[in-house]
Amino acid sequence: MTTPPPISGTTRLYGIVGDPVEQVRSPDVFNAHFAERGVDAVFLPLRVEAAGVGAALAGFAALANLDGLVVTIPHKLAFAALMDEVGPHGRRVGAVNAVRRTPAGGWAGELFDGLGFVEGLRGQGIDPAGLSYLVFGAGGAGAAIAGALLDVAPGRIAIADPVPGRAEALCRKLRTGAPGLAIEPAGSEVDPGAFDAVVNATPLGMKADDPLPVDPGRLRPGMLVCEAVMKPPVTRLLREAEKRGCRVQPGRHMLDGQFPLFLNFFGLPR
């Protein structure tokens, strides 16, 4: 195992901001990369409650040795609203999951979750084009995944969310970028077996006693079941899907797929 450089007064700071942060994998991945490449930097989990997002960003701006942040649940939409600049993928859905300082001293954000999800599929030999997708969750992760799927020529996209009106609002936003594609909200009685791929983009699955986002009895053999949750590495949904002969995609592949994009965005060595 490579020994990381000692933390000193020259060490640059990065972090992941969310609530909770117990489930995040980014510190492991970034710090291993820093150690391997000899980068004088450290990556920290930073728990910020929803009411403190604005104050936290102001505090981060005052830290001259903090260069960038990854943003996770539930702050991706809130951070986007506070950015001075937002990249094209973030603008598409109004969310960001990475922010960095601008030369003028402000903050620039972009959204890589969806791109990472798509690259994660390709990395496992799955062609995302032409498939029909049922996405559970219209928050930051679900919006990012659905938004990135617009660029791979999917068959259709349905979005489900327990918050009234949220799935409908996201569908309207996505249709402006893909007017010829079938993008519809899905009700609670939607049949997951009618789709090629089901994606859990909700926090359900982080805890052992979480309810499942979908009835596993309605999954069919051969379909694809994907997770955005990264800890635990294999959620109960994935275990139930495997029992029914489904192909599964753990959440770690989404991070693996977007990690090179994070490095480019932060200007770090690859």
Please state, as a whole number, how many other Cβ atoms lie within 10 Å of the Cβ of residue 232.
17
CA dihedral (92, 95, 99, 104) in degrees, to 10, reads 60
Query: φ, ψ for residue 85 (rounded to 5)?
Result: -140, 140
What are the CA-CA distances from residue 54 to residues 2, 21, 43, 78, 119 (Å)?
Answer: 37, 18, 21, 9, 32
For the chain, first and last CA: distance in Å? 18
What are the CA-CA distances from residue 156 to residues 162, 174, 197 (Å)?
Answer: 21, 12, 11
Q: Would you call 166 helix, strand, or coil by DSSP?
A: helix
Q: Is the dihedral of CA 153, 156, 159, 160 positive or negative?
A: negative
Cβ-based neighbours of 6, under 8 Å, separated by 6 or more? none
Q: Would you call 184 helix, strand, or coil by DSSP?
A: strand
CA atoms of 86 and 88, how far apart (whole Å)? 7
Query: φ, ψ for residue 203 (rounded to 5)?
Result: -75, -5
Is position 76 annotated as part of the catalytic site? Answer: yes
In the set 76, 207, 231, 243, the catalytic residue is: 76
Q: Are strands 197-200 and 183-185 parallel, antiparallel or unpaired?
A: unpaired
* Amino acid at position 132, single letter: S
CB 139 within 8 A of CB 75: no
What are the residue numbers of the active site? 76
